[in-house]
Amino acid sequence: MIKEFRDFLAQRNMLDLAVGVIIGGASTTIIKSFVDNIINPLIGMFVNAAALRSLTFQIGSAKFYYGTFLNDVLNFLLTAVIVFLLIKFIKAAIPTKEPEEKVDERLDTLKEIRDLLKKEAN
């Protein structure tokens, strides 16, 4: 069972997932800071708001903070792009082994018999 678990952890997809989770979690703070401190002021210049988070609309007594939602979507998209690029870089940096072709001895034996029968028929 331990060998099966080790093999499961060593699968390429599992390693990709682990790297994605770790890098994504570690980079979230940096990306959030980038969006809040760089992107939001740039957007704010065009929408006359100090920050994207301050964009709201009100219907009756309900206030909708669509700017906060847009800010979170932007954080997610930047995190996804960075994780994608890191995984792509890691895959390019790690050489992959081509699977070895399994040789079926029975098939080879049958081919030899076929060839011998053809030779005898001629």
Of 17, 28, 26, 31, the C-alpha closest to 87 is: 17
Sorted by sequence, the CB contacts under 8 Å of residue 79 that are 6+ apart come out as: 24, 27, 28, 31
**Domains assigned to the chain:** 2-121 (1.10.1200)
pLDDT at 90: 78
Q: What is the pLDDT of residues 10-58, one digit of tens each?
A: 666 767 777 777 877 777 888 888 888 888 788 777 777 666 777 888 9
pLDDT tier at 66, thresholds 50, 70, 90: confident
Region for 34 from its dihedrals, namely left if φ exceeds 0, alpha if ψ lies in -120 to 50, beta otherwise: alpha
pLDDT tier at 61, thresholds 50, 70, 90: very high
More confident position, 94 or 9: 94
Q: What is the pTM of this model?
A: 0.53
pLDDT at 31: 83
Q: How far apart are CA 65 and CA 57, in angstroms?
A: 7
Give, in order, the Cα–Cα distances in Å from 56 to each of 42, 70, 109. 18, 11, 76
Q: Does the pLDDT at position 102 exceed 80? A: no
pLDDT tier at 101, thresholds 50, 70, 90: confident
pLDDT at 62: 92
Q: 64 φ, ψ to 5°?
A: -105, 125
pLDDT tier at 88, thresholds 50, 70, 90: confident
Give, in order, the Cα–Cα distances in Å from 92 to each of 16, 63, 84, 86. 13, 48, 12, 10
Q: Could you tell me which residues are beta bridge partners of residue 64?
A: 57
Q: What is the DSSP letter of 63?
A: E
